[in-house]
């Protein structure tokens, strides 16, 4: 079930919509990688959203220690924090709350100018990842990513921020598939039903930022893996197709390691 790059190949199981089998394969992937790494457990940021909830549940299913950091800022939703705390309690995983607002204010003070939402969002994501990697060194754990395939293909994430991790169990699952996996794992329906948000600023919504629902986006993203932009524009809303392909082209660099100059 692994391709030549060592990544888990879920395509056949996903097509069959066998989410019980997907849970098993992802749990095996996490446990196998951890055992080979020599680390003792997993650590991830738990936001109160569906992606981190699914990843936390998968990590817990391995039987290895799972640690959660809850890292709210000034504009973070109280509901999300409450849902994150309940998830940790339900899963019986250790957790720690670290308020990142003082960290962000210190950065902004040194930068010397107010930051627009996008820059502040990127700064928040990178501050959280710094804390995760520091905590991982403290407890000898692997940082587990929580970016789904829809986000990765669209580049909807911060490079060296929420996209940074040692391994990612859900990176080949589209957002709409994450909902099905969440139900298979028994995630609280309150988390499943809420509007997706990275919680980077007050009132922020993933689908509002992108301009389309994940249901519509995923339909195009699935086909974009094998069909051209022109082909899809003849069958679907041309504006939607153009938006998807523009974001894929503009953010492709986020999915690759930085190029290194050859001296040969």
Please enumerate, by residue number, every residue annotated as part of a binding site for Mg(2+).
Answer: 51, 151
**3-class DSSP state of 83:** helix
| Token pair for 162 | 């929420």
Q: What angle do CA 58, 152, 181 make, to 5 degrees?
A: 30
Task: Identify each DSSP E strand in the chain by its residue range.
Answer: 41-45, 65-70, 94-97, 141-143
Element (H, E) at 44: strand 41-45
Q: Which of 190, 199, 197 is nearest to 214 (CA)?
A: 197
Residues 6+ apart with CB under 8 A from 103: 127
Residues 6+ apart with CB under 8 A from 89: none
Strand partners, 45: 69
Q: Which of 242, 170, 176, 171 is nearest to 215 (CA)?
A: 176
Annotated binding site: 45-52, 126, 146, 151, 175, 197
Residues 6+ apart with CB under 8 A from 178: 50, 51, 54, 148, 170
Annotated binding site for ATP: 45-52, 146, 175, 197
Annotated binding site for deamido-NAD(+): 126
């Amino acid at each position: 079930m692994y391709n030549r790059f060592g990544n888990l190949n879920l395509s056949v199981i996903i097509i069959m919509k066998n989410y019980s089998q997907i849970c098993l394969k992802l749990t095996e992937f996490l446990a196998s990688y951890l055992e080979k790494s020599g680390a003792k457990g997993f650590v991830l940021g738990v936001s109160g959203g569906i992606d981190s909830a699914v990843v936390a549940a998968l990590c817990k299913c391995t039987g290895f220690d799972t640690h959660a950091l809850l890292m709210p800022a000034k504009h973070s939703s109280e509901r999300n924090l409450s849902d994150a705390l309940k998830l940790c309690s339900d899963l019986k995983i250790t957790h720690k709350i670290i308020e990142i607002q003082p960290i962000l204010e210190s950065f902004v003070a040194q930068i010397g100018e107010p930051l627009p939402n996008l820059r502040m969002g990127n700064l928040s994501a990178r501050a959280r990842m710094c804390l995760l990697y520091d905590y991982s060194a403290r407890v000898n754990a692997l940082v587990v990513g929580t970016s789904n395939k829809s986000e990765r293909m669209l580049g909807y994430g911060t490079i060296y921020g929420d996209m940074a991790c040692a391994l990612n169990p859900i990176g080949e699952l589209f957002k709409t598939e994450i909902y099905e996996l969440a139900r298979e794992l028994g995630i609280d329906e309150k988390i499943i039903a809420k509007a997706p948000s990275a919680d980077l600023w007050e009132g922020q919504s993933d689908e509002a930022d992108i301009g389309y629902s994940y249901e519509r986006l995923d339909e195009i993203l699935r086909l974009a893996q094998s069909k051209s932009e022109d082909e899809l524009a003849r069958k679907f809303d041309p504006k939607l197709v153009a938006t998807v392909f523009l974001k894929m082209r503009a953010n492709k660099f986020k999915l690759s390691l930085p190029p290194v100059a050859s001296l040969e």
